[in-house]
């Protein structure tokens, strides 16, 4: 998010103010999440908007800047996916144990 925020910081012209506002809210959401604080609904929507490449259009933005922002956003999406996969792998052991315990619950009752 820091890289995206830096990229849009220098935007000028029509629509730049809206893009900067959305990125600022997304940055606030990112900072709150890192600190373990609660993210507001408005910040979460801004973060989702940045992640899904739904930023307002800026007619004066150069192609180079748009590519830079999109590249940073793609990196952000890849990082989010990596975190998701890490969380899944971390929780897989506990989920497998719970599932196996539930599968054998009937036999445990019979034995007891």
pLDDT tens profile 18-55: 888 888 898 899 889 889 889 899 998 988 888 877 77
Burial class (CB in 10 A: 0-12, 13-18, 19+), 65: middle
Specify the pLDDT at position 100: 82
**Sequence ranges of the domains in the chain:** 2-111
Q: What does the alpha-carbon distance between residue 27 and residue 30 come to, in Å, rounded to a whole number? A: 5
- Range with the poorest average pLDDT among 12-21, 39-48, 92-101: 12-21
Summarised one tens digit per residue, pLDDT across range 56-70 is 666 666 677 777 777
- Could you tell me the pTM of the whole model? 0.57
């Amino acid at each position: 998010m820091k890289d995206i925020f830096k990229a849009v910081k220098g935007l000028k012209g029509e629509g730049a103010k809206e893009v900067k506002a959305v990125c600022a809210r997304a940055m606030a959401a990112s900072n709150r999440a890192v600190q373990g604080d609660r993210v507001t609904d408005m910040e979460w929507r801004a973060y989702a908007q940045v992640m899904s490449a739904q930023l307002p259009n800026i007619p004066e933005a150069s192609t180079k800047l748009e590519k830079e922002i999109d590249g940073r956003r793609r990196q952000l999406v890849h990082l989010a996916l990596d975190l998701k996969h890490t969380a899944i792998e971390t929780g897989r052991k506990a989920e497998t144990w719970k599932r196996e315990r539930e599968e054998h619950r009937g036999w445990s009752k019979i034995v007891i």
